[in-house]
Structure 1
Amino acid sequence: MKKTATELIMLGTGNATVTKCYNTCFIIKMEETLLLVDAGGGNGILTQLEKAQVQLADIHEMYVTHAHTDHILGAVWVVRMVIQRMLSKRYTGIFNLYSHAKVLQVLDYMLRMMLPKKQIALLGKQVLFHEIADKDVLRIGDMELQCFDILSTKEKQFGFRALLPDGKSLVCLGDEPYNESNRQYVENADWLLCEAFCLYEDREIFKPYEKHHSTALEAGRLAEELNVKNLLLYHTEDSRLDTRKKDYTAEASLNFSGFVVVPDDLEKISLK
């Protein structure tokens, strides 16, 4: 029987301050396993999962890139709701959360300060935190994840290169510009997930460089230089949602000869 193609479900595509879409987070959906990557900045993650028709009971693996509010606060809600389902016998098995030490420390503190004792009791028993280090390799379902420190100057952050079940590669750079020290993880990727804070023509409005971000123009140049096949842009501003696909695709394509994807929230992309 032919295997189902791995699918990317973009739960959110916006940067930290958006109000017209959700913060950047997504699911890599394999035939038998879902990996949730980040969760946005609040309980809006529950709405996005519901709209995407993804059940919390089906999520057993989560990866958090860093401890900024627009990535980690939603993780508090995911863990809380998973625990509630565990206690009411609506969730079977273990929930695994992977990240570096800073993220795990922040999450553990928030959960222990906010949750009731009966929920806290499941931390370390049915909800397991797994600390990862630079260059660690994880096996999650049919996927292999090579973790790497993106060498952020703002906040400790880990991206990853995923080897998908069909042998294709997907690289998540987190939400900051590429660092040349990570070339081995990014070069020749089948899919590159890259932040594009705004268009180059709007750089004076959104000040991406002051915030350690880049534009669609630079993302396209990077993908071409590193021989990437497919470029997916996320973590954008939200003033151009009506024309974002067209505008960002056009700008990235000025430098990039491959396929550009600029997804909307809840869009599903087949990684074939």
Structure 2
Amino acid sequence: MIPDFEVTILGNTSSIPVHGRHHTAQVVRFGQDFLLLDCGEAMQLQARAYKIKVSKINSIFISHLHGDHYYGLIGLLSSYSLGKRTTPLTIFGPRGLDEIITTNFRYSNTKLPFPLNFVETYDDGLNLLLDTTRYQVYSFPLIHRLPTTGFLIKEKHGLRNLIKEKLQENKLPLAAIQSLRKGEDYKDENGKVYRVKQYTHPLPPLRTYAYCSDTIYNPGLKQYIENADLLYHESTFMEDNAERAATTYHCTARQAAEIAKISNVKKLLLGHFSSRYVNLEPLLGEARTVFEDSILSEEGQTYAL
């Protein structure tokens, strides 16, 4: 059975929460696992509004230490404490985030009732952060005004499904079945070989989600996000503000589309919109002149891979 792999947007605005839009936060669900990518203000309120159970989140990934990407984190951890959470939680983030958290809780005399683990991220290349039986999470460098990483969530193959008709025709030993489901041919004591391609269904294509929070236009991202099924890429400004985008180390919608095009991704999800834009349709129009499969991220919407 192919597990669900989907992204729910909780916030998609940049520095100021306006026009009904909120600071960056999104939840990725892979099967029964819930991952939080960035944690801007109002994350908890948004999660309640869109019926996301924050108690199921066991891994949090913070891209960088600009407030609109992590100011909701202390509140979330405090709510976990008040709710008597006991399940371990791991936070992946840049140097200094652990100090911010521990300093806050030291002065508020907060003692967490659950194990909190912190894993420091580095912006020096592609780094494996989390490895499970069905997916992996990597960080990769973005170019912004302080150390920043994007995140790549890549599906792994699970056990193969056996062809029932083949099993009915041939009685396979248990060891052969176990081997074949792992994708390995099996040879019995008599020298008979049971081949994976004969007894199992072809594996479905693997899916990949790429998350680029804040970054200047950087074609070098292609090496990390190439062929992703879904790319979330910041599109803070339009082309008439390209100079401001460069000065603040952000991107335009057109530039995000150019990254999607050269990286051969299947779909582009635009986000991190400047407060100057009430109507976002012009940003979408700009992106689609370069990459047709562009869509605006919408808060409360879930996007399946």
Provide TM-score, normalisation by structure 2: 0.76
Quickly say closer, same or farther: Cα 1:207–1:151, change in 2 above 3 A: closer
Quickly say closer, same or farther: Cα 1:121–1:93, change in 2 above 3 A: closer
Q: Which amino acid aligns with 2:26?
A: F
Task: List 4+ stretches of structure 1 deviating above 6 A.
Answer: none
Q: Note the C-alpha offset of 1:56.
A: 2.3
Q: Note the C-alpha offset of 1:182.
A: 4.0
Quickly say closer, same or farther: Cα 1:7–1:141, change in 2 above 3 A: farther
Q: Which residue of 2 aligns with 1:47?
A: 45
Give the Cα separation in 1 of the matches to 2:155 and 2:12. Answer: 22
Which structure has more relative contact order (CA 8 Å, sep 6+)? It is 1
Q: Which residue of 1 aligns with 2:28?
A: 28
Task: Give the secondary-structure state (helix, strand or coil) at the position aligned to 1:189.
Answer: coil
Task: Give the secondary-structure state (helix, strand or coil) at the position aligned to 1:148.
Answer: strand
Q: Note the C-alpha offset of 1:120.
A: 2.8
Give the Cα separation in 1 of the matches to 2:217 and 2:5. Answer: 25
Give the Cα separation in 2 of the matches to 1:65 and 1:175. Answer: 8
Among candidates 273, 282, 286, match of residue 251 of structure 1: 286
Q: Which residue of 2 aligns with 1:266?
A: 300
Alignment size in residue pairs: 253
Q: Which amino acid aligns with 1:237?
A: S
Q: Which amino acid aligns with 2:134?
A: D
Is the CA contact (8 Å cut-off) linking 1:177 and 1:195 kept in structure 2? no
Is the CA contact (8 Å cut-off) linking 1:32 and 1:141 kept in structure 2? no
Q: Which amino acid aligns with 2:121?
A: I
Q: Which amino acid aligns with 2:138?
A: Q
Q: Which residue of 1 aligns with 2:91?
A: 97
Quickly say closer, same or farther: Cα 1:161–1:56, change in 2 above 3 A: closer
- Greater mean alpha carbon deviation, residues 136-145 or residues 215-224: 136-145
Quickly say closer, same or farther: Cα 1:249–1:157, change in 2 above 3 A: same
Task: Give the secondary-structure state (helix, strand or coil) at the position aligned to 2:246.
Answer: coil
| Percent of pairs with identical residues | 20
Task: Give the secondary-structure state (helix, strand or coil) at the position aligned to 1:22.
Answer: coil
Is the CA contact (8 Å cut-off) linking 2:214 and 2:249 kept in structure 1? no
Provide TM-score, normalisation by structure 1: 0.84
Give the Cα separation in 2 of the matches to 1:227 and 1:45. Answer: 31
Give the Cα separation in 1 of the matches to 2:133 and 2:82. Answer: 24
Give the Cα separation in 2 of the matches to 1:69 and 1:141. Answer: 33
User: Which sections of structure 1, spanning at least 5 residues, go unmatched?
Assistant: none
Task: Give the secondary-structure state (helix, strand or coil) at the position aligned to 1:265.
Answer: coil
The alignment yields a C-alpha RMSD, in angstroms, of 2.2
Q: Note the C-alpha offset of 1:141.
A: 6.8
Q: Which amino acid aligns with 2:30?
A: M
Q: Note the C-alpha offset of 1:93.
A: 1.5
Give the Cα separation in 2 of the matches to 1:173 and 1:236. Answer: 13
In our comparison, the structure showing a higher alpha carbon Rg is 2
Task: Give the secondary-structure state (helix, strand or coil) at the position aligned to 1:60.
Answer: strand
Is the CA contact (8 Å cut-off) linking 1:102 and 1:156 kept in structure 2? no
Matched, 1:196 2:235: yes
Give the Cα separation in 1 of the matches to 2:56 and 2:287. Answer: 35
Give the Cα separation in 2 of the matches to 1:121 and 1:46. Answer: 18
Give the Cα separation in 1 of the matches to 2:133 and 2:69. Answer: 23
Q: Which amino acid aligns with 2:244?
A: K
Quickly say closer, same or farther: Cα 1:140–1:11, change in 2 above 3 A: farther
Q: Which amino acid aligns with 2:142?
A: I
Task: Give the secondary-structure state (helix, strand or coil) at the position aligned to 1:213.
Answer: coil
Task: Give the secondary-structure state (helix, strand or coil) at the position aligned to 2:96.
Answer: helix
Give the Cα separation in 2 of the matches to 1:136 and 1:235. Answer: 24
Is the CA contact (8 Å cut-off) linking 1:18 and 1:237 kept in structure 2? no
